[in-house]
């Protein structure tokens, strides 16, 4: 069981590393949105997609390792349940990486929520501006008479 615990701990640390990289990119996206650096967003989205593929691959490894240990321990394939079912030495090997990963996941969720709200606000603002430009354009261009109305 110690080798299984060690393997899962290594996977958790690798997952934390990848999600930490993802967190940095999401923070950079938030900053780019706030500062109006739209050109940077395309590069950041490419980087985000690349990291998301790596995150999915390590998540698959974590699920397989957790499932295997959970079958052996006859518990749920959740790290907190695995830790409860393990002897104290093996459990302590998992506690640090699990806490670190949980903190990173919580930070990532928070930042993604902020970026999502910023994008929703930007979309709403853009839609409002487009609607106002269209309304002003139709009224001031005088489409019916073919003239441009300069009345203020």
pLDDT digits (tens, 9 = 90+) for 49-83: 999 999 999 999 999 999 999 999 999 999 999 99
In a domain, 141, yes or no: no
The number of domains in the chain is 1
In a domain, 62, yes or no: yes
pLDDT digits (tens, 9 = 90+) for 88-144: 988 999 999 999 999 999 999 999 999 888 888 888 888 898 888 888 877 665 555
- According to the model, what pLDDT value does residue 59 have? 96
Q: What is the pTM of this model?
A: 0.78
3-state secondary structure the chain: CHHHHHHHHHHHHHHHHHHHHHHHHHHHHHHHHHHCCHHHHHHHHHHHHHHHHHHHHHHHHHHHHHHHHHHHHCCCCCHHHHHHHCCHHHHHHHHHHHHHHHHHHHHHHHHHHHHHHHHHHHHHHHHHHHHHHHHHHHHHHCCCCCCCCCCC
Segments forming the whole domain that contains residue 16: 2-114
């Amino acid at each position: 069981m110690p080798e299984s615990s060690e393997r899962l701990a290594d996977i958790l640390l690798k997952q934390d590393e990848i999600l930490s990289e993802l967190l940095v990119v999401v923070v950079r996206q938030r900053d780019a949105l706030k500062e109006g650096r739209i050109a940077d967003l395309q590069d950041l989205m490419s980087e985000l997609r690349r990291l998301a593929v790596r995150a999915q691959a390590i998540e698959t490894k974590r699920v397989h390792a957790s499932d295997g240990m959970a079958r052996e321990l006859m518990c749920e394939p959740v790290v907190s349940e695995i830790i409860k079912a393990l002897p104290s030495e093996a459990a302590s090997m998992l506690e640090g990486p699990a806490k670190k990963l949980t903190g990173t996941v919580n930070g990532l969720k928070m930042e993604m929520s902020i970026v999502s709200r910023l994008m929703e606000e930007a979309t709403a603002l853009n839609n409002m501006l487009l609607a106002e430009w269209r309304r002003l354009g139709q009224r001031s261009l005088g489409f019916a008479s073919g003239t441009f109305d300069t009345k203020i």
